Amino acid sequence: MLLYHGSLFTKALPSLRRPISSLVQRSLEKELTARRLPLAYDYLSPQASHLLQLSLFEHLPRETGKVAAESEEGLRRLPSVREQRHLPPGHHLVYFPPQVTLSELLRDGTDVLHAPGEPFHRRLWAGGNVVFPRSGSLILNGQRAVCVENISSVNVKGREGEEKIFVTIERRFSTVAEGEDESQLRSRLENNPSVLTETRDLVFLREPDLETRHASSGKTSRLVKSPAEPDISHRLTPNKALLFRFSALTFNAHLIHLDQTYTKNIEGHNDLLVHGPLSLTLMLSVLSSHLAKSGQAIQRFTYRNLAPLLDIMDVFWAAPPVARTLTALTCLESALVYGGLLNGYHIVFLPGQIFKLLPEVWRLATPFLLTKPQLSFLFDLYFMYTYSSGLEKNSPRFLRSGDFLTYVVFVGAVIMLLANFLFGSVIFTSALIMAFIHTWSQDNRGKQVHFYVVQIRAEWLPLALLGVNFVMAGPTAAMIEGTGIIASHLYDFLTRIWPTFGGGRNYITTPAFVHNLFDDSRSSSRGYGAAYRPAQAGQARQAGQAGQSSGASSSYFGSSWSTRGAGRRLGGN
């Protein structure tokens, strides 16, 4: 059934997780490819290109960010239409905004122009290509221009109930005369090789259900390596200001670039995403500047987006404070020691250097911040951040970051006493990581996790890792790591088991001044936004979840964090 929506058509598709039949697929492809998209007109004033250049200036290589003059006055000066400047590669993306009203925006802020309809409301930019004409490129002289769009193909991919709809859009750009007939204009630009042509691939996804959102929460971002050594490269760090400016310049209200709460709780990403067209503009700007040195220009540019680009610094600061600080300090100390800039003797645990007239008190902390060398450096950092951030954010044991810090101090003290007194160890990082893994495994009892090529229950993960370390590093190293399991179990016994089942008192509480160090509270996701619950509500939730377990599969290389309560006595009222 076709539903009329303003001047556009959208199609009612199967909702929820119902699979799309082949008949519906053919009907969908026929409807989308026949959809007549409105023409997007604009005047090629230098203003939009100039504002984009100002926004990108400090994010591009120095020679790329230059404008007409080296002085600050030249950088800020708006070029005149009399200068007849050519439109820089990629700058066409900030012209010809979508001609839609507010009522024609979907829930995620995207427009309905290319959307297939219910339930595919989530849009991502998958890739595309740009073909630049050999001559007759657009000139920023204030002339009227047009973008003619049409949907060239539609493909449905993915398993039943998890389909993704790929929509390929062809866009052609040209100058036009005032009052030029629309049908003649479309005919003139169709298959015209002498105009700027862009093809973009959009993918539309179903809205995730609540279970999928929880599974995505806190998931470590996927790192994608370059398939080959690049001829040229440039490193930059985007920020919220850049994302906002580009959204404004492109008339783009997509919430994944603007609303952090929506992006985390609904889309399941760690932070705001960088625009696909912004990535394209950055790549074209760097490449065109490089080619200009040898008198060359871009003729055709093809790209594919393999993974979301995040606002990296915001991701770091959005991470749980204790976990990010612990991981950052571990990375810094290990890099200094293995880089030869810091003598390892000055950071190991030596009681004689601590208990003296001028005590070296930093030795109480630095033994927990040195990873093993070589490849283990990366693995230790990964495990430390993954499990510490998972506990700090999602474990029902720690309603606030201060509670997690108290846990770290307690297990660290136990590890220090046991590992040094029993085995003479002077570095405790591996034992601390094992404590994190053991506590996480207790919170996720009953879940299946991937351990190399086999699946095991989460509660067996610490022992499995301990066994591997026993074989590869020897019994002493395994026993030192085992002190982490003892410390984790002792914390669990003193804070949960003894008070709950033995009627004892929990003496390991977080001091008020520690809570004051952190401006945080645990939030729970809902349909949209974040709902903050006080400690009592959080404890009630723990009680309600006691005894639950999940059979869902996850991975110890990066799994979703479940929530389990402390449990209650059986047989009571």
Cα–Cα distance list, 330 to 234, 382, 406 (Å):
27, 11, 19
Amino acid in the structure at residue 44? L
- DSSP 8-state assignment for residue 88: P
Q: Is residue 572 part of a domain?
A: no
Question: Up-side HSE of residue 247: CA atoms within 13 Å toward CB?
Answer: 19
- How far is residue 207's CA from residue 221's CA, in Å, rounded to a whole number? 20
Q: For residues 135 and 155, state if they share a domain.
A: yes
Final residue of a domain: which of 510, 544, 566? 510
- How far is residue 436's CA from residue 441's CA, in Å, rounded to a whole number? 9
- How far is residue 203's CA from residue 145's CA, in Å, rounded to a whole number? 28
Is 415 in contact with 421 (CB distance < 8 Å)? no
User: In terms of C-beta density within 10 A (0-12 exposed, 13-18 middle, 19 or more buried), how is residue 243 classed?
Assistant: buried
Q: Is residue 557 part of a domain?
A: no
Query: How would you write 26-81 as a 3-class SS string?
Result: HHHHHHHHCCCCCCEEEECCHHHHHHHHHHHHHHCCHHHHCCCCCCHHHHHCCCCH
Q: Is residue 554 part of a domain?
A: no
Q: For residues 208 and 348, state if they share a domain.
A: no
Is 37 in contact with 149 (CB distance < 8 Å)? yes
- How far is residue 168's CA from residue 157's CA, in Å, rounded to a whole number? 14
Q: For residues 303 and 334, state if they share a domain.
A: no
Nearest partner of 373 among 322, 426, 452, 430, judged by Cα: 430
Q: For residues 302 and 323, state if they share a domain.
A: no
Which secondary structure element, helix H or strand E, spans residue 413, and what is its range? helix 401-423
Is 403 in contact with 521 (CB distance < 8 Å)? no
- How far is residue 336's CA from residue 325's CA, in Å, rounded to a whole number? 16
Residue 496 corresponds to which tokens in the numbers above?
């949960």
Cα–Cα distance list, 347 to 56, 188, 289, 354, 365 (Å):
43, 73, 47, 11, 8
Is 318 in contact with 271 (CB distance < 8 Å)? yes
Kindly list the strands in the beta sheet with 122-131, ordered across the sheet, starting from the edge strand earlier in the chain. 40-43, 144-157, 164-175, 196-205, 122-131, 300-304
Domain count across the chain: 2
Whole-structure pTM value: 0.56
- How far is residue 483's CA from residue 431's CA, in Å, rounded to a whole number? 6
Residue 424 corresponds to which tokens in the numbers above?
């003479």
Chain position carrying tokens 């250049």:
53
Q: For residues 161 and 274, state if they share a domain.
A: yes
Q: What local confidence, expressed as pLDDT, does residue 23 receive?
A: 63
Which secondary structure element, helix H or strand E, spans residue 23, and what is its range? helix 22-33
Nearest partner of 107 among 255, 329, 322, 258, judged by Cα: 255
Sorted by sequence, the CB contacts under 8 Å of residue 378 that are 6+ apart come out as none
Q: What local confidence, expressed as pLDDT, does residue 159 receive?
A: 77
Nearest partner of 37 among 10, 2, 3, judged by Cα: 10
Q: For residues 362 and 436, state if they share a domain.
A: yes
Q: What local confidence, expressed as pLDDT, does residue 395 receive?
A: 87
Q: Is residue 256 part of a domain?
A: yes
User: In terms of C-beta density within 10 A (0-12 exposed, 13-18 middle, 19 or more buried), how is residue 336 classed?
Assistant: middle
Q: What local confidence, expressed as pLDDT, does residue 433 receive?
A: 95
* Residue 110 φ then ψ, to 5°: -80, 160
Chain position carrying tokens 């539903």:
3
Q: For residues 464 and 355, state if they share a domain.
A: yes
Task: Tell me the average confidence (pLDDT) per consecutive run of 10 residues in the chain, 573 residues long.
Answer: 34 48 74 90 93 90 52 74 90 92 89 86 89 85 93 85 87 91 88 89 78 51 64 84 93 90 81 89 91 90 79 63 92 92 92 90 94 88 89 86 92 94 93 94 88 86 91 91 94 91 88 81 40 39 37 39 42 44
Q: Is residue 537 part of a domain?
A: no
Q: What local confidence, expressed as pLDDT, does residue 4 receive?
A: 30
- How far is residue 79's CA from residue 82's CA, in Å, rounded to a whole number? 8
Domain CATH for 247: 3.10.129.10
Final residue of a domain: which of 289, 308, 327? 308
Q: Is residue 6 part of a domain?
A: no
- Residue 117 pairs in a beta bridge with 120
Q: For residues 140 and 30, state if they share a domain.
A: yes
Q: Is residue 364 part of a domain?
A: yes
Q: Is residue 220 part of a domain?
A: no
Sorted by sequence, the CB contacts under 8 Å of residue 61 that are 6+ apart come out as 234, 286, 289
Q: For residues 251 and 380, state if they share a domain.
A: no
- How far is residue 157's CA from residue 163's CA, in Å, rounded to a whole number? 5
Q: For residues 46 and 186, state if they share a domain.
A: yes
User: In terms of C-beta density within 10 A (0-12 exposed, 13-18 middle, 19 or more buried), how is residue 206 classed?
Assistant: buried
In this structure, the number of other CB atoms found within 10 A of the CB of residue 132 comes to 18
Domain CATH for 506: 1.20.1540.10
- How far is residue 477's CA from residue 428's CA, in Å, rounded to a whole number? 11
Final residue of a domain: which of 277, 308, 339? 308
Q: For residues 302 and 354, state if they share a domain.
A: no
Q: For residues 336 and 191, state if they share a domain.
A: no
Range of the domain at 440: 319-510
- How far is residue 12's CA from residue 14's CA, in Å, rounded to a whole number? 7
